[in-house]
């Protein structure tokens, strides 16, 4: 059976009632793993919203959204916070940030703002991209100029598909009404040009792999990229 994930949930961390309502909807949508937006200053103690999700049986991964203004600011943040989070996403609003974010293996997800020049996912970035390109469903409902936004999304998905860049679909929901069923998210990605299988993987296998790999990396930080422990020897061996 396919497991689903939504790696971008951003409710108020102190509103337990809202979190409980969201958790009920998430469970009903058969979403198993959620990425909860938690700023560094809220890592401890555990926020009430995180406890509400966990109490509902959801697997909660801590997510950090970085919005660096320069290459140096991005690298500093990655050094400080990589080991504290299961998901690190970078908002690529500047070309100097984009060029580093797509290549740095410490970055899991890249996002490109849908306004302003110099912040689009281009072919020269796709050719070196190691992170997953994230599309939030909220991008389709915010603002009034929908057609230019849809055209840009189609173009970026086409570029990602040509370069075999992983694509992740998320909700960016802050309340129960903004949540979306994973198959609905996949249907939107498919409509915008992603193959059906890649669209389904973008709400299941790919986001789940991001969380799993980073948890392994946290447990075994000394291992090189691509290396993992399959079995430890027993005392008799």
The boundaries of the domain holding residue 95 are 4-219
- With beta carbons less than 8 A apart as the criterion, state whether 13 and 48 touch: yes
For residues 33 and 3, give the distance between their C-alpha atoms in angstroms, rounded to a whole number: 8
228 in any annotated domain: no
Extended strands (E) in the chain:
4-9, 31-37, 59-66, 87-91, 109-111, 132-136, 167-170
Question: Environment class of residue 78 by beta-carbon count within 10 Å: exposed (0-12), middle (13-18) or buried (19+)?
Answer: buried
User: Is 235 a member of any domain?
Assistant: no
Is 226 part of a structural domain of the chain?
no
Statement: residue 146 has pLDDT above 90: no
Burial of 133 (0-12, 13-18, 19+ CB in 10 A): buried
User: pLDDT digits over 53-107, tens only?
Assistant: 999 999 999 999 999 999 999 999 999 999 999 999 999 988 999 999 999 999 9
In a domain, 40, yes or no: yes
* pLDDT bucket at 232, cuts 50 / 70 / 90: low
Confidence of residue 168 (pLDDT cuts 50, 70, 90): very high
In a domain, 234, yes or no: no
Cα–Cα dist 158/133, whole Å:
12
Q: What is the pLDDT of residues 39-57, one digit of tens each?
A: 999 999 999 999 999 999 9
At 49, which CATH number?
3.20.20.140
Please state the domain count of the chain: 1
Q: Is the residue at 236 inside a domain? A: no
Question: Would the pLDDT of 236 be above 70?
Answer: no
Q: Would you say residue 102 lies in a domain?
A: yes
User: Model pTM?
Assistant: 0.89
Indicate whether 22 belongs to any domain: yes
């Amino acid at each position: 059976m396919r497991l689903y994930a939504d790696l971008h949930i951003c409710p108020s961390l102190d509103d337990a009632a809202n979190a409980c309502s969201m958790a009920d909807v998430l469970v009903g949508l058969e979403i198993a793993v959620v990425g909860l937006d938690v700023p560094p200053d809220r890592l401890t103690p555990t926020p009430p919203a995180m406890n509400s999700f966990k109490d509902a049986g959801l697997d909660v991964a801590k997510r950090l959204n970085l919005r660096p203004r320069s290459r140096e600011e991005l690298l500093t943040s990655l050094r400080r916070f990589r080991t504290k989070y299961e998901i690190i996403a970078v908002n690529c609003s500047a070309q100097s940030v984009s060029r580093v974010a797509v290549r740095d293996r410490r970055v899991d997800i890249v996002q490109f703002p849908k306004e302003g020049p110099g912040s689009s996912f281009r072919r020269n970035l796709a050719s070196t991209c190691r992170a997953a390109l994230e599309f939030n469903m909220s991008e389709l409902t915010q603002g009034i100029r929908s057609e230019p936004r849809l055209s840009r999304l189609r173009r970026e998905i086409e570029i990602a598909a040509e370069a075999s860049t992983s694509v992740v679909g998320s909700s960016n929901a802050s309340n129960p009404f903004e949540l979306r069923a994973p198959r609905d998210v996949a249907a939107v990605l498919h409509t915008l040009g992603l193959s059906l299988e890649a669209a389904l993987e973008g709400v299941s296998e790919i986001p789940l792999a991001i969380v799993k790999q980073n948890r392994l990396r946290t447990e075994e930080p000394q291992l090189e990229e691509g290396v993992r422990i399959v079995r430890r020897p027993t005392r008799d061996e």
